[in-house]
Amino acid sequence: MNELTREERLVDVFTTLADTLIDDYDVVELLQTLVDTCVSTFEVTAAGLLLADDRGNLEVLASTSEESRLVEAMQLSAESGPCIESFRTSSVVSVTDLDEGPPEWDPFRKAAREQAFTAVHAIPLRLRETTIGALNLFLTSHEALSERDLRSAQALADVATIGILHERTLRASDLAREQLQNALNSRVTIEQAKGILAFTHDVSMEEAFMLLRGYARSNQLPLALVARQLVDRAIIF
């Protein structure tokens, strides 16, 4: 990817993320755009994102592949890994060789290796003193991301965080917690919808998500709404 294309892509996604600073927007779509952009813009193989609910418990909210989703789920199960560490410390955690991680990362390390990942960069979703999740960038090589790429990824995560929290929701913490909880609940419905499409169309879970997202975009509907309608059998496609 040449530098002009790369910079243009970053400008486009910053604009997209900034457009979320309105009354109504789809949090799941926002964060899916974030992980998709990281894979298409930086030299990473896959990306995943964990978001905290109103009790501070992390859940997988977005991923670019089933492989990254499985690794994220393993981190949650083990309550240990670079993304967990990034969330707890509100700092970037970069591991270019998984062997360098602490022993408690063993379940994450095993899961990552099974999916051919060899390095990871975990980036917090933070605003001032508030951290609401973490972004994981997975690589299948031991090459570290450049400082500029890490700064760009952090900037994208920061803008997404601002989009989620928004000044209106910062002034009304109950609304902020409700929004985050609704986003997490929506993800459960989306996973159910993916399963339905995977079965009815005889495709992989990733292809099922593409079908779901494509239908939502072509009909200008929120992703979570389409998923709910599909699960409730209000629509069929």
Domains in the chain: boundaries: 3-168, 172-237
Q: In this structure, which topology does domain 172-237 adopt according to CATH?
A: Arc Repressor Mutant, subunit A (1.10.10)
Q: From edge to edge, which strands make up the β-sheet containing 46-52?
A: 58-63, 46-52, 130-139, 119-127, 93-95
Over its C-alpha atoms, the chain yields an Rg (Å, rounded) of: 17
Task: Output the pLDDT for position 99.
Answer: 81
Task: Output the pLDDT for position 20.
Answer: 58
Task: Output the pLDDT for position 19.
Answer: 65
Model confidence, pTM: 0.71
Task: Output the pLDDT for position 167.
Answer: 47
Angle between helices 147-170 and 173-201 (to 10 degrees): 120
Same fold, 3-168 and 172-237: no
Does domain 3-168 bear CATH number 3.40.50.150?
no
CA distance 123 to 196: 32
CA distance 41 to 51: 22
Task: Output the pLDDT for position 187.
Answer: 84
3-state secondary structure of 93: strand
Check if the beta carbon of residue 95 is closer than 8 Å to that of residue 146: no
| Ranges of the chain whose pLDDT falls below 70 | 1-4, 13, 16-25, 166-177, 179
**Alpha helices (H) in 19-129, listed in sequence order:** 27-41, 66-78, 82-89, 106-114
